[in-house]
């Protein structure tokens, strides 16, 4: 059987046998394959991403501009007047950076803050004890001197009685020293001295007799010594009684009197302290205001020096004297000054109510964690609205108005130093017109209406001579009458 020339049918290869050579058709098919290479990003993909980022940034910028314009229109609607220069938003990033270009009475800055009382008092007792009576209720207005609570007086009444007794004892001792010895006591001392003097005479006679007998050896020497000893002792006793009588007649020493006076003063101080502690068992309101918070209940034991437990009974504040605490960023603090006019609104609770205010003070230290300086704005709250709308710790929005220029009634005009005929008001506002050098001032502005022209330094020129020549083109020609 003849062999077939068909090479398209592949025969199985036996193991260990070399592969047959590839056919020309297989080589052509393999040559048509694309070469393998690592996938790479084309430059068109990067260009597409760049266009998308630019489009997103443009949309964000347009949205911010639209939002700023909307807020500016809202502020103009609330504050009718000249158009505002910049947006007046609550955050510091959208606030104007300067008031030099803002119109009078417009909003230069707008920040959020919190309402706080100008003076908030923590009412604490002066003494410790159990509360027997409590007359405290949140929101109730109290007057100065009104009784708020009473503490048990038993211990303090006993202390006062003991101090008074000690004072009386020391007072009587001082009185005794100041009056000295009574006349009867002095006479008693004199009588005792006379008795001892009489005994000295008798002992002296016995002593002389014993001395004579001992010389004659009639008595033993021991008896003589006893008699002499009694006589000498009585002489010393008489001398002591004379000194005692002299002291009684002179009275007590001045040092003892002064010491007694000091003891009396000490006892008087103890009495005053005990009475003060007893009086402070009645706790009265130190000011007229409203009770903000109740910190104790009837029956509690209060101790003003305790770290835990009841150390105060309530918190009190005058709600007619309020302030707004605002943290102004450092980049905007140059636009705030003491005495600046403001408008305050309770932005969350009563956004339609507006109150006048003024910057009372700028704190002398900044908060480096916030990068801000605290500013206090004083509020003017009507008496009939005290404690009704504005309450402590309530959020508020403060609009700082631009500087108010001096009016014609109270402005003090300084001499013109600009050469433009513009008066320099001393109200503190800066002129927004640029000052020109003296060499660049036009001649037409030097004689502006309302100002006196500068006097020439050279002699005035001669008047023009009339002639038949036509007028100068610089001079305006009269209009021809209508036909």
What are the tens digits of pLDDT across the range 356-367?
A: 999 999 999 999
Q: Is the pLDDT of residue 83 over 80?
A: no
- Shared-domain flag, residues 183 and 268: yes
Look at residue 196 in the predicted model and tell me its pLDDT: 82
Domain stop point among 401, 436, 460: 401
Angle at CA 103, nearest 5°, toward 99 and 109?
A: 45
Distance CA 168, CA 267 (A): 8
Distance CA 397, CA 78 (A): 14
Lowest mean pLDDT among 42-46, 179-183, 248-252, 316-320: 42-46
Flag whether 219 is in a domain. yes
Look at residue 166 in the predicted model and tell me its pLDDT: 95
Place of tokens 């932005």: 347
Flag whether 265 is in a domain. yes
Token duo for residue 67:
């939002």
Beta bridge partners of 112: 397
Flag whether 38 is in a domain. no
Q: Is the pLDDT of residue 77 over 50?
A: yes
Flag whether 308 is in a domain. yes
Look at residue 323 in the predicted model and tell me its pLDDT: 94
Domain stop point among 382, 401, 420: 401
CATH code at position 101: 2.40.30.170
Q: Is the pLDDT of residue 63 over 80?
A: yes
Look at residue 17 in the predicted model and tell me its pLDDT: 53
Look at residue 130 in the predicted model and tell me its pLDDT: 93
- Shared-domain flag, residues 131 and 164: no
Among 85, 126, 91, CA closest to 107: 85
Flag whether 409 is in a domain. no
Place of tokens 């009489």: 198
The distance from CA 158 to its chain's CA centroid, rounded to whole angstroms, is 42
What percent of the chain lies above the pLDDT cut of 70?
A: 67
- Shared-domain flag, residues 97 and 114: yes
- Shared-domain flag, residues 267 and 167: yes
Distance CA 166, CA 265 (A): 11
Confidence of residue 42 (pLDDT cuts 50, 70, 90): low
Confidence of residue 152 (pLDDT cuts 50, 70, 90): very high
For residues 241-256, give the mean pLDDT.
85
Cβ-based neighbour number of residue 277 at 10 Å = 20
- Shared-domain flag, residues 165 and 236: yes
Look at residue 424 in the predicted model and tell me its pLDDT: 42
- Shared-domain flag, residues 193 and 335: no
Which tens digits make up the pLDDT trace of 338-353? 999 999 998 788 888 8
* Positive/negative CA dihedral, 270, 272, 278, 280: negative
Domain count, the chain: 3
Flag whether 457 is in a domain. no
Among 186, 173, 182, CA closest to 256: 173
Q: Is the pLDDT of residue 243 over 90?
A: no
Contact partners, residue 264, CB within 8 Å, separation at least 6: 167, 170, 171, 174
342, 398 Cβ separation under 8 angstroms: yes
Flag whether 200 is in a domain. yes
- Shared-domain flag, residues 370 and 384: yes
Confidence of residue 184 (pLDDT cuts 50, 70, 90): confident
- Shared-domain flag, residues 172 and 128: no
Look at residue 437 in the predicted model and tell me its pLDDT: 38
396, 326 Cβ separation under 8 angstroms: no
- Shared-domain flag, residues 138 and 209: no
Q: Domain range holding 127?
A: 121-152+281-315
Flag whether 28 is in a domain. no
* More confident: 464 or 325: 325
Cβ-based neighbour number of residue 153 at 10 Å = 17
Token duo for residue 396:
């508020």
- Shared-domain flag, residues 146 and 285: yes
Query: How far is the first Cα of the chain from the last one, in angstroms, to the nearest whole number?
Result: 135
- Shared-domain flag, residues 106 and 172: no
Q: Is the pLDDT of residue 429 over 50?
A: no
The pTM score is 0.51
Q: Give the mean pLDDT of the chain.
A: 75
Lowest mean pLDDT among 15-24, 228-237, 308-317: 15-24
Token duo for residue 123:
């009412």
Which tens digits make up the pLDDT trace of 374-417? 999 999 888 888 888 889 999 999 999 986 544 433 434 344 44
Contact partners, residue 271, CB within 8 Å, separation at least 6: 160, 163, 164, 167
Look at residue 378 in the predicted model and tell me its pLDDT: 94
Look at residue 35 in the predicted model and tell me its pLDDT: 58
Token duo for residue 354:
């507006």
405 Rama class: left (phi>0) / alpha (psi -120 to 50) / beta: beta
- Shared-domain flag, residues 101 and 198: no
Q: Is the pLDDT of residue 220 over 60?
A: yes
Domain stop point among 381, 401, 421: 401
Q: Is the pLDDT of residue 1 over 70?
A: no
B/e letters for 352-387, b = 16+ CB within 10 Å, e = fewer, are eeebebebbeeeeebeeeeebbbbbbbbebeeeebb
382, 323 Cβ separation under 8 angstroms: no
Which tens digits make up the pLDDT trace of 249-304? 888 888 989 999 999 999 999 999 999 999 999 999 999 999 999 999 998 989 88
Contact partners, residue 328, CB within 8 Å, separation at least 6: 92, 109, 111, 336, 372, 373, 374, 375
Look at residue 6 in the predicted model and tell me its pLDDT: 45
Q: Is the pLDDT of residue 30 over 90?
A: no
Which tens digits make up the pLDDT trace of 89-127? 333 333 333 334 445 568 889 999 999 999 899 999 999
Written in H, E and C, the secondary structure of the chain is CCCCCCCCCCCCCCCCCCCCCCCHHHHHHHHCCCCCCCCCCCHHHHHHHHHHHHHHHHHHHHHHHHHHHHHHHHHHHHCCCCCCCCCCCCCHHHCCCCCCCCCCCCEEEEEEEEEEECCEEEECCCCCEEEEEECCCCCCEECCCCEEEEECCHHHHHHHHHHHHHHHHHHHHHHHHHHCCCHHHHHHHHHHHHHHHHHHHHHHHHHHHHHHHHHCCCCCHHHHHHHHHHHHHHHHHHHHHHHHHHHHHHCCCHHHHHHHHHHHHHHHHHHHHHHHHHHCCEEECCCCEEEEEECCCCCCEECCCCCCCECCCEEEECCCCEEEEEEEECCCHHHCCCCCEEEEEECCCEEEEEEEEEEEEEEEEEECCCCEEEEEEEECCCHHHCCCCCCCCCEEEEEEECCCCCCCCCCCEECCCCCCCCCEECCCCCCCCCCCCHHHCCHHHHCCCCCCCCCCCCCCCCCCCCCCCCCCCCCCCCCCCCC
């Amino acid at each position: 059987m003849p062999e077939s020339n068909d090479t398209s049918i592949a025969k199985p290869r036996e193991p260990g046998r070399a592969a047959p050579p590839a056919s020309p058709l297989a080589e052509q098919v393999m040559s048509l394959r694309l070469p393998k290479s690592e996938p790479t990003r084309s430059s068109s993909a990067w260009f597409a991403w760049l266009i998308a980022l630019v489009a997103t940034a443009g949309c964000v910028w347009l949205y911010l501009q639209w939002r700023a314009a909307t807020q500016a229109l809202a502020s103009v609607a609330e504050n009718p007047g000249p158009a505002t220069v910049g947006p007046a938003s609550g955050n510091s990033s959208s606030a104007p950076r300067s008031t030099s270009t803002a119109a009078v009475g417009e909003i230069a800055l707008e920040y959020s803050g919190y309402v706080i009382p100008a003076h908030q008092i923590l009412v604490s007792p002066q003494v410790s004890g159990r509360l027997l009576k409590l007359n405290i209720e949140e929101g109730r207005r109290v007057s100065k001197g009104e009784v708020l609570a009473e503490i048990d007086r038993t211990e303090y009444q006993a202390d006062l009685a003991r101090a008074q007794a000690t004072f009386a004892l020391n007072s009587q001792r001082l009185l005794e020293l100041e009056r000295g010895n009574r006349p009867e006591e002095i006479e008693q001392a004199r009588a005792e001295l006379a008795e001892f003097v009489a005994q000295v005479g008798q002992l002296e006679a016995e002593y002389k007799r014993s001395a004579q007998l001992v010389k004659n050896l009639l008595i033993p020497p021991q008896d003589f010594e006893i008699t002499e000893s009694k006589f000498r002792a009585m002489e010393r006793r008489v001398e002591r009684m004379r000194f005692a009588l002299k002291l009684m007649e002179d009275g007590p020493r001045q040092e003892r009197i002064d010491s007694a006076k000091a003891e009396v003063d000490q006892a008087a101080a103890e009495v005053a302290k005990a009475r003060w502690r007893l009086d402070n068992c009645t706790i009265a309101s130190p000011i007229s205001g409203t009770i903000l918070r109740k910190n104790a209940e009837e029956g509690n034991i209060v101790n003003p020096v305790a770290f835990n437990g009841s150390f105060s009974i309530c918190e009190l504040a005058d709600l007619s004297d309020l302030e707004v605490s605002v943290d102004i960023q450092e980049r905007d603090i140059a636009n705030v000054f003491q005495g600046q006019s403001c408008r305050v609104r309770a932005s969350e609770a009563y956004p339609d109510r507006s109150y006048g205010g003024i910057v009372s003070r700028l704190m002398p230290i900044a908060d480096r964690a916030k990068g801000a300086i605290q500013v206090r704005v004083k509020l003017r709250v009507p008496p009939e609205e005290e404690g009704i709308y504005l309450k402590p710790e309530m959020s508020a929005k403060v609009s700082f108005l631009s500087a108010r220029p001096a009016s014609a009634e109270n402005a003090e005009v300084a001499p013109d130093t600009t050469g433009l005929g513009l008066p320099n008001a001393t109200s503190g506002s800066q002129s927004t017109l640029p000052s020109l050098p003296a060499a660049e001032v036009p001649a037409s502005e030097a004689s502006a209406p309302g100002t006196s022209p500068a006097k020439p330094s050279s002699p005035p020129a001669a008047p023009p001579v009339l002639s038949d020549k036509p007028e100068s083109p610089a001079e305006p020609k009269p209009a021809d009458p209508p036909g």
